[in-house]
Each structure stands twice: as structure tokens, then as C-alpha cells.
Amino acid sequence: MKILVADDDRVSRRLMERMLQQNGYEVITAENGRQVVDELAKEGGPRLAVINWMMPELDGPGVCREVRATHGDSYIYILLLTSKQAHEDVVEGLQAGADDYLTKPCHPAELKARLHTGRRVLQLEDKLVEAREEMRFKATHDALTSLWDRGAIFSLLQSELSRSIRDHSPVSVLLCDIDHFKQINDVYGHQTGDEVLEELSTRLLDAVRAHDAVGRYGGEEFLIVLGGCDRDNLKERAEHVRKSICASPFMTAQGPIPVSLSVGAITIENWRNSDAIGPYLKQVDAALYQAKALGRDRVVYAETLVSV
């Protein structure tokens, strides 16, 4: 584990570095408070720090205050080394943001024990962050496919439309439906149907750009938001998505199954905040309905709708 050691005294700093290296730490050193702040701000920087109270440019409490004020991504456990004995000095250091303190000269065994406590605190924080991210993911993603759920994909569509106002760029939307999905469930069983949904989700993600959004609209329907995609590019993009599904059979526990998509497509341009999204979704849904009525495995564009 990385640890930062900060002391303006070169000999003390080197002794501390050697002792921590012997205990398995990857040690980074600094000789003044400003270097400490810079090192701790780096991506992938140390999350454990042993810093001296008295340092040039910025003292230990000053480092603590600045780190706590600016570093919000992941917690940094700071152990303050001080020769100060007065209670008010200790209180000042802890109130500045230090997690613990040791008086100098410190005993190696005590330093080791206190750093072990710091590591436990960081491990607990990591578990809490992981649990929070898992809850956030579950709140916005479909449990089976891990795609955005209906509410989240609508929210992303609204965000993309708002961005299109600032950038004066179009947004295209694809509404996709798996052809004859009920027949797949009836013939092969719902577990195989779930396999198809999972594989289809993977293929859809592979068929779009990293910054496009794919969500499960409901059942066997999927909504894809293509930011910056105009009418001229929509046909190529929509056909690429469709062909990515039917190009090869889906391999399932029941054997290979041919799968195809019907797709409704629309480009939204000159969006205004006052515009309702409902009419556009109604148009793309009508385009999808016509794609199925015309024989499935095809794309129909909302502006080309005709009576059938």
C-alpha cells in the first residue's frame, strides 16, 4: 500500500522511509507541506500519510485543512507527528483534519499499530463506497441485462436533448423490439429467453459508441439514444444496430437461435426546453409498429411513415 512520509529533516525522513518499507509499504516522500498536498491530490496517490507538524510552506494542520477542503474522491488517513505535548495543540491538529497523532520520537511498534488502524478505516470506507455504488447501480439499471432501466434511459434522453440545445446538435432515437420473442419463450422456455435478452444487450452495447445510451424500455423493447446523430447518419447507424443482431445466431443452452430486430427510428432537431418528449416517442413507436407490420427485421424512419 502507498504511504506518504513528510518531514523537512532529511535524516528523520529517511529513517521513517526505511522502517515503513520494511513493513511492506510503498513509500513516497515530501519535504514540505505544499509537496504533501500536491502528492495527495494526484490520481492514484497515497491514501495513508504520516506528516510532521512543523514543515516549511505549509505546516501539518494547514495540510490537513487543505486536503479535507479539496479532496473529496476518496478518504486520506492522516497521522500527524508532533513534539507538542499540550492538549490544546493536539486538539488543534485533530480539528484541522488529522485522524490520529503520535508524539516524537515515536516507537516503531506503536506507529505500525496506528497505521494498521488507518488501513482498517480505509478498508471500511472502500466497502461503504462499493455498497453505495452497487445501490446506485441497482436503482438505475435493469437487473437482468444491466442496461439502463426505463426511468434512467428517459432521464438520459432528456439530458442529451438539453445538451443538444447548447451544442446546436441533433439527437436520434432507436426503439427496438425483438421479433417473435414470445415464440422463443414458448418453444425454448423463459430461461433461454433471458439468455437471449442478455446476449442482445451485449450486442447492442457493442454496436453503439461508448457515449451513446442503451436502455431496456420494457419486456423485449430497448431504447437507444444516439447523441449528435443527424438524419444523414441515422440510416447507417440504425442498420448497423439491426445487422449486429441478425448477423449470427445467439448461442444458448438450447443451441443456436436466430434473432432479429424491428426498429423504429427518429431524429430530433431544434429541440426546445418547452418541447414535450411524448410526441416524439409516439412517432418512433408508430415507426416500430410499421416495421413489424411490414415483415419485421427492418428499420422504419418516423418521417417516412406510410399507410399499410
At residue 100, the 3 state secondary structure works out as strand
Confidence of residue 307 (pLDDT cuts 50, 70, 90): very low
Each residue of 207-236: pLDDT tens digit? Answer: 999 999 999 999 999 999 999 999 999 999
Q: Do the strands 250-252 and 48-52 form a parallel or antiparallel pair, or are they unpaired?
A: unpaired
| CB distance 237 to 226 below 8 Å | yes
Q: What is the pLDDT of residue 225?
A: 97
As a whole number, mean pLDDT of residues 243-256 equals 96
Closest CA to 86 of 101, 107, 66, 99: 101
Question: In the chain, at which residue ranges do the beta strands (DSSP E only) sit?
Answer: 2-6, 26-30, 48-52, 77-82, 100-103, 171-178, 213-218, 221-227, 250-252, 255-257, 261-268, 299-301
The three-point CA angle 118-35-108 to 5° equals: 40
Same fold, 2-138 and 150-304: no
The catalytic residue positions are 220
Q: What is the CATH number of domain 150-304?
A: 3.30.70.270
For residues 112 and 298, what is the distance between their CA atoms, to the nearest angstrom? 66
pTM for the full predicted model: 0.71
Residue-range domain boundaries for the chain:
2-138, 150-304
On whether the CB atoms of residues 170 and 269 are closer than 8 A, the answer is yes
pLDDT at 277 over 80: yes
Name which residue leads in pLDDT, 90 or 285: 285
Architecture of domain 2-138: 3-Layer(aba) Sandwich (3.40)
pLDDT in tens, 162-204: 999 888 899 999 999 999 999 999 999 999 999 999 999 999 9
What is the structure's pLDDT at 132? Answer: 87
